Amino acid sequence: MDGSTQERPVPPIVVVGAGLAGLSAAVRLAGTGRKVVVLEATGAGGGRSRSFQHGPTGLELDNGQHLMMGCYRETLAFLRTLGNAGAVSFQRNLAVDMVRPGGARVRLRCPALPAPLHLAAGLLGMRGLGVLHKAAALRVGLVLRGEVERPDDNETCDAWLRRLGQTQGIRSAFWDPLIWAVLNDDPLVASAGMLVAVLERAFLGTRDDSRLGVPRVPLSRLYVDDAVEYLHQRDSQVRLASPMRAIETDAEGVCAVRLRSGERIETRTVISAVPPRPLLDALPTAAREHPVFQDAAKLTVSPIINLWLLLDRAPFVDAPFLGLIGSPIHWLFDRSRIEGHEGGPMLLNCTISGARGMVDDRPETLLELAKGELRRFFPDRPVELRGHKIIKERRATIGHAAGTQQLRPPTRSPVPGLLLAGDWVRTGLPATIESACQSGHDAAAAVLEDAARMHAFGV
Ligand SMILES: Cc1cc2nc3c(=O)[nH]c(=O)nc-3n(C[C@H](O)[C@H](O)[C@H](O)COP(=O)(O)OP(=O)(O)OC[C@H]3O[C@@H](n4cnc5c(N)ncnc54)[C@H](O)[C@@H]3O)c2cc1C
């Protein structure tokens, strides 16, 4: 023996899933010098926020139009690390146009006042809506100011809005579209507590928090490509087509991840950033019986349908996006304008949220619906369809029915060494990009905290 101590190589931190939760966790850890291995089941990163090349049109399309808000702090921090925060176009102040069949508009324009006065002034000034409806909406401000009891997670949005005396007019032009958009669920069942959590983040901070933002570039270029590059530059890896089969444990906790290929990666730290089902399938049987995981097994899913339509010209020209009042299609996005190619054919995105009742419809039925709605809402500007792509995301998000929040697990799982990330963990937010990035950053912070504690004990 020469007296030198042979140091064992430090095992990597394994992050399972290269969606936004997994990538944000991995980037945060790699940024502190940790070595990370990201395992992704499919051939590309991005998960439910990804883009792909569409052969027939030659366009790079997103799996679905994604909207952000100014209060997406964790998402913006992730994008800043990648140098991509400038690729999202944010409104100067919150502005939303809703359209009625025939073309008449209801316009919300929030002026440059401090929050939440900007919203109050915007609601009062809403064009195309009677004063009674607007006055009703202002009552919600009392809840935000704490003057009326907040709803808990067991109350539905519908019951809560009734309790606050919201009229049908303000519901169809403001509340219901907002709920479908942020909770991806039906206002009749969706949790009012979750809605208020969003309202507080958007309207009780600064005026900028409520601005809406749309990416100007395809999603994979915004979130994925540069994250993978960032990790590679820091001696970390993203292994595509490498599905996890099992998380293995011993008396101390996590000891390895087994891949479907049979390969075994030894590690004491795993961040699971996959949806509930693949996580539950990978757990040791005994762990699966734990109430935390039993609850996670009860989470439901809610689909989103996106129709991409290539049109000979634009059916509307005065807004980058519009909400449709009283239509199964909730939002239209003028992607050509958003990406800066105006004047020619229009790439239009039609979004149907919480699409449980339509997700099994045939593509022809959905296409006819979209064409019919364009004629109904914009009768003065007939358009011709030149190409299309329909994307049904059956598991777009978890369902946000009242009572769901308590089923979502915390970052630290009952299995030592196993941290949970993903938009569906208990972040206090609905399952969104921001929830995914927050969960990733929370999991990374927990890993760093544990490492600091071990260091303090000299382990
Ligand atoms: C059509 C659509 C529109 C949306 N619109 C918006 C919006 O406007 N605004 C907003 O904020 N949010 C929106 N969302 C929600 C947002 O996309 C998600 O919240 C976010 O992308 C979830 O990221 P995640 O990392 O938690 O999960 P995922 O993206 O699901 O990532 C999980 C990853 O794990 C991988 N994986 C699964 N099993 C395994 C395994 N066994 N081994 C290894 N890897 C595995 C998957 O392939 C995937 O890449 C939308 C979602 C959809 C589908």
Q: Taking every pair of C-alpha atoms in the chain, what is the biggest distance, in angstroms?
A: 89
- 233 and 263 in one domain? yes
Record the tokens describing residue 388, joined without a space: 């299309």
Instruction: List the single range of 139-148, 184-193, 366-375, 385-394 with lowest mean pLDDT.
Output: 139-148
**418 and 287 together in one domain:** yes
CB atoms within 10 A of CB 216: 15
1: pLDDT strictly greater than 70: no
User: In a mutational test of the pocket of ligand 1, which residue from 38, 425, 433 has the highest number of ligand atoms less than 8 Å from its CB?
Assistant: 433
Q: Is residue 283 part of a domain?
A: yes
The verdict on 245 and 275 lying in the same domain is yes
Is a pLDDT exceeding 70 seen at residue 281?
A: yes
How many domains, the chain?
Answer: 3
Residues 294 and 416 in one domain: yes
Is 390:352 a contact under the CB 8 Å cutoff?
Answer: no
CA distance 48 to 347: 21
Q: Which two tokens stand for residue 126?
A: 């809403």
Domain assignment of residue 136, given as a range: 109-205
pLDDT in tens, 91-124: 999 999 999 999 999 999 999 998 888 988 888 8
Whether 27 and 115 share a structural domain:
no
Kindly report the average pLDDT of the chain as a whole number.
94
Band (pLDDT 50/70/90 cuts) for residue 459 is low
- Nearest atom in ligand 1 to the alpha carbon of residue 67 is 8
- Rounded Cα–Cα distance for residues 348 and 315 (Å): 9
In this structure, are 318 and 289 located in the same domain? no
Give residues with Cβ within 8 angstroms of 88, minimum separation 6.
Answer: 68, 79, 213, 214, 215, 216, 222
Q: Which residues line ligand 1 (CB under 6 A)?
A: 16-22, 39-42, 47-49, 63-64, 66-67, 243-244, 273-275, 278, 304, 306, 393, 396-397, 422-423, 431-434, 436
Q: What pLDDT digit, counting tens, does each position of 82-98 carry?
A: 999 999 999 999 999 99
DSSP state of 144: H
pLDDT of residue 2: 45
CATH number, domain containing residue 435: 3.50.50.60
CA 397 / ligand 1 centre spacing (Å)? 8
**Which DSSP category does 209 fall into?**
G
* Structure confidence at residue 157 (pLDDT): 97
CATH of the domain at 311: 3.90.660.20
Distance CA 79, CA 37 (A): 20
**Residues ≥6 apart with Cβ < 8 Å to 49:** 19, 20, 62, 63, 66, 219, 223, 433, 436
Q: β-pairing, 59-62 with 51-54?
A: antiparallel
State the pTM of this model.
0.96
Q: Are residues 169 and 114 in the same domain?
A: yes
Same domain, 294 and 405: yes
Is 366 found in the same domain as 223? no
For β-strands 385-398 and 301-311, DSSP reports them as antiparallel
Residues 266 and 349 in one domain: no
| Across 163-176, average pLDDT | 92
> Cis peptide leading into 116, omega within 30 of 0?
yes
Domain boundary among 352, 374, 398: 398
β-strands 301-311, 346-352 pairing: antiparallel
Among 449, 130, 441, residue whose Cα is nearest residue 273: 441
Rounded Cα distance, 322 and 330, in Å: 9
